[in-house]
Amino acid sequence: MSNSIGHVVELFISKKNEDQRISKTLIEIDMDGVIDDKFYAKDVERAILLTSTSSYDLVSKNNIKISYGALGENILIDYNPYDLPIGTKVKIGKVVIEISQNCTICNHLSSIDKRVPTLLENDRGVFVKVIEAGFIEKGDKLYLLDFLQN
């Protein structure tokens, strides 16, 4: 396999009826998304939100204090995937995911700061669907796979 492009910085799940994100060292993923997450089995095309630390850096450069997890991500990585085409596959640990769509900005982000939705209009994250299930652990390496591969 080619060289790693980055690694997993943080992992999160959301629980039903709770606003707070729960930081995890390990998450289990199957074809319906992140097991135990409140969005599990809702929409396989939007099963998992993958966000880059570059989004947090962009917000921070504008003097807005924000904690990891505040953007609603399940997986936070230190690689910026926002310019990768839909259909690109990424391997994280033993899990393979495929970029299915760009994440749209949610109104709740303006509760952090009214500038956040504009700042992150095209840089909040990407939704991915699961190609190969398994476990993802904090610190796992990322590998770009040929996005034309089946």
Q: Does residue 150 belong to any structural domain of this protein? A: no
> 40: domain CATH number?
2.40.33.20
Is residue 97 a part of any domain in this protein?
Answer: yes
Residue 105 in contact with residue 121, Cβ under 8 Å?
yes
User: The pTM is what?
Assistant: 0.91
Beta-bridge partners for 16: none
Q: What's the pLDDT tens digit per position in 76-94? A: 999 999 989 999 999 999 9
Structure-block tokens of residue 4: 């790693």
Q: What is the pLDDT of residue 135?
A: 98
Per-residue model confidence as pLDDT tens digits over 95-124: 999 999 888 777 778 888 889 988 888 888
What is the spatial distance between Cα 137 and Cα 141, in angstroms, rounded to a whole number? 9
- Residues near 88 by beta carbon (within 8 Å), at least 6 away in sequence: 81, 98, 99, 144, 145, 147
- Give the domain range for residue 45: 6-15+24-145
Q: How many domains does the chain divide into? A: 1
